[in-house]
């Protein structure tokens, strides 16, 4: 790294640390965040871990470096804290794909609604239980209802249906980033690295999952790669995670070849959080997540139901 860039990084880190102290703020970051953001985060994790961590923080401000639904959960679970997201438009395309009115009709028809955590608070408020990619199978397994509707990710829903054998109807939603992790995108890389193990996030298409060596949430993928005896992996999820894995490998004095599908999966929404925006967020205390307290109370019920499983 050139000297000027290293200096800029150092300056950025010092400014963030100072602002964190002054404001009594904690930074939570998802694995898909840019390396510079991961480097100043107090905690990095998958959606479930970050939600749980947010409940045990001694701070006044939580700055959520991720997408909007993640910051919303932190607010739902911490109504008395100020929760900030450094870019107000950093929304999850999958989460935004649900029409709440349409979902209300399904609820009235008698469906038991299992909502993936990638949903907005209005959707959570009318859901029966929430799941994340890490615990989706356990959550679906626990449901004793003959009409289950899984929203919004059809790939994760189909995976749960296949694994649990339950009668599940699917919402027609998907993540555009993971939808592009096709068999073809993996085949192109596998051609050159025949011994590579394929790891995939359950938001990937069914065909990709059928051919994967390991399926799991972001944290589970990291754990699998760190523990595995293999040396080469094709990482079937958003590419920000590669930085986290490389850092963890370095700490353990290990090296593994981490390859991305072709084209590289990148979530533009996650990348909206930049160093400049993070500084501005801390300095000006923007953008605050504000929720209707009644909606937040209702949305908390299915989240707590998930925690209690
Ligand atoms: P994880 O809960 O596995 O971190 O996934 C979040 C997400 O948005 C995947 O696209
Ligand atoms: Fe949403 Fe997909 Fe980005 Fe995850 S990768 S935050 S599901 S758009």
The fraction of the chain above a pLDDT of 90, given in percent, is 96
- Count CB neighbours of 170 within 10 A: 18
- Of 4 and 15, the one with more pLDDT: 15
State whether CATH 3.40.50.10800 applies to domain 3-91+271-289.
Answer: yes
CA distance 259 to 263: 11
What is the average per-residue pLDDT within 119-125?
A: 97
Question: Does 218 contact ligand 1 (Cβ within 6 A)?
Answer: yes
List beta partners, residue 233: 197, 258
List beta partners, residue 131: 116
| Residue spans per domain, the chain | 3-91+271-289, 95-175, 181-264
Which of the four pLDDT bands, split at 50, 70 and 90, describes residue 203?
Answer: very high
Name the strand (E) or helix (H) holding 183.
Answer: helix 183-190
Q: Which ligand is nearest to the CA of 132?
A: 1
Instruction: Please give the pLDDT value at position 1.
Output: 67
Question: Does 273 contact ligand 2 (Cβ within 6 A)?
Answer: no
Residue 265 CA: nearest ligand 2 atom is: 5
- What is the DSSP annotation of 55-124? TT---SEEEEES-HHHHHHHHHH-TTSEEE-S-TT---TTGGG--HHHHHHHHHTT-EEEEESSS-HHHH
Which superfamily does CATH assign the domain made up of 181-264 to?
NadA-like (3.40.50.10800)
What is the average per-residue pLDDT within 68-92?
A: 97
Instruction: Please give the pLDDT value at position 129.
Output: 98
DSSP SS3 for 30: strand
Q: Which ligand is nearest to the CA of 50?
A: 1
- Report the CATH number of the 95-175 domain: 3.40.50.10800
Question: Does 270 contact ligand 2 (Cβ within 6 A)?
Answer: yes
pLDDT in tens, 148-166: 999 999 999 999 999 999 9
Measured in Å, residue 91 CA sits from the centre of ligand 2 at 8
Query: Whose CA is closest to atom 8 on ligand 1?
Result: 118
Which of the four pLDDT bands, split at 50, 70 and 90, describes residue 3?
Answer: low
Question: Are 3-91+271-289 and 181-264 equal in CATH topology?
Answer: yes
Question: Does 47 contact ligand 1 (Cβ within 6 A)?
Answer: yes
Report whether pLDDT(238) > 80. yes
Burial class (CB in 10 A: 0-12, 13-18, 19+), 78: middle
What is the average per-residue pLDDT within 188-202?
A: 96
pLDDT in tens, 24-55: 999 999 999 999 999 999 999 999 899 999 99
């Amino acid at each position: 790294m050139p000297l000027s860039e290293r200096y800029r990084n150092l300056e950025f880190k010092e400014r963030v640390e100072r602002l964190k102290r002054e404001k009594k703020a904690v930074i939570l970051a998802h694995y898909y965040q840019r390396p510079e953001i991961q480097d100043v985060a107090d905690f990095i994790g998958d959606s479930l871990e970050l939600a749980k961590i947010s409940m045990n923080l001694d701070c006044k401000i939580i700055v959520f470096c991720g997408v909007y639904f993640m910051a919303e959960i932190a607010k739902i679970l911490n109504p008395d804290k100020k929760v900030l997201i450094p870019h107000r438009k950093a929304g999850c395309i999958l989460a935004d794909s649900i029409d709440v009115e349409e979902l209300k009709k399904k609820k009235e028809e008698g469906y038991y609604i299992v909502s993936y955590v990638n949903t907005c608070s209005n959707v959570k408020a009318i859901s029966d239980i929430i799941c994340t990619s890490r615990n989706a199978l356990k959550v679906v397994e626990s449901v004793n209802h003959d009409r289950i509707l899984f929203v919004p990710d059809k790939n994760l829903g189909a995976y749960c249906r296949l694994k649990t054998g339950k009668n599940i109807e699917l919402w027609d939603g998907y993540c555009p980033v993971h939808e592009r992790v096709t068999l073809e995108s993996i085949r192109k890389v596998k051609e050159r690295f025949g011994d590579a193990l394929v790891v995939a996030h359950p938001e990937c298409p069914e065909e990709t999952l059928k051919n994967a060596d390991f399926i799991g949430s972001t944290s589970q993928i990291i754990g699998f790669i760190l523990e595995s005896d293999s040396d080469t992996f094709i990482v079937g999820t958003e590419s920000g995670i590669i930085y986290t894995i490389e850092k963890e490998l370095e700490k353990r004095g290990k090296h593994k070849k981490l390859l991305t599908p072709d084209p590289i999966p990148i979530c533009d929404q996650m990348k909206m959080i930049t160093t400049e925006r993070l500084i501005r967020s801390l300095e000006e205390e923007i953008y605050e997540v504000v929720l209707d307290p009644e909606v937040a109370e209702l949305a908390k019920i299915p989240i707590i139901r998930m925690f209690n499983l």
